Amino acid sequence: MTTTDYATYIAGLPRVLAAAATVFRDDRGRVLLVEPNYREGWALPGGTVESDQGESPRQAARRETAEEIGLDRTPGRLLAIDWARGPMRPPIAAYLYDGGVLDEAETKAIRLQEEELLSWELVERDDLDRYLRGALALRVRAALEVLDSTGGTVELEDGLPADG
């Protein structure tokens, strides 16, 4: 196979998007959510992996967190990976990392990226469904369950445990 043939082959492969986010909690177990200005609903700090720039999901989680809320922290362990399908886009491989527990000083240091975010809030687990839509709510709950358990990572499809 020539270089040109290989490039044509690669260009014809299906596309999958990748996203990465960080799950931060406070000492009461509340989850840090952000309110985007470009779509309905709330989200975790995070965003699209810039794979064309050679960025990994872990690097994207750190970059997006620093950009969106001003906290530059190395993400902890991978909590969940979700294969999320959507009607108007290619599938997304969504990675959720442990951001750890924020202390009062870190919470006070949060500075929103005004171009993308309207506000942030620490949300009780029981209230997550009021803020998060569809598979994202399921994904965050699954990540919190992993944090509550002995460890590991959960594999999801559209927010639900993958068969396997």
- In sequence order, the 6+-apart residues with CB closer than 8 A to the CB of 162 are 83, 155, 156
What are the start-end ranges of the H helices in the chain? 3-11, 57-69, 104-108, 128-131, 134-148
| pLDDT single digits (tens) 130-150 | 999 889 999 999 999 999 997
Domain 15-161 falls under CATH 3.40.50.150: no
Domain spans in the chain, listed from the N-terminal domain onward = 15-161
Q: Give me the numbers of helices (H) and strands (E) for the chain, helices first please.
A: 5, 8
**Cβ-Cβ contacts under 8 Å for 8 (sequence gap 6 or more):** none
DSSP type of residue 27: T
What per-residue confidence (pLDDT) applies to 81? 98
- The Cα 43–Cα 84 span in angstroms is 15
Model-wide pTM > 0.85: yes
**Looking at residue 5, what is its pLDDT?**
82
Ranges of residues in the chain whose predicted pLDDT is under 70:
1, 164
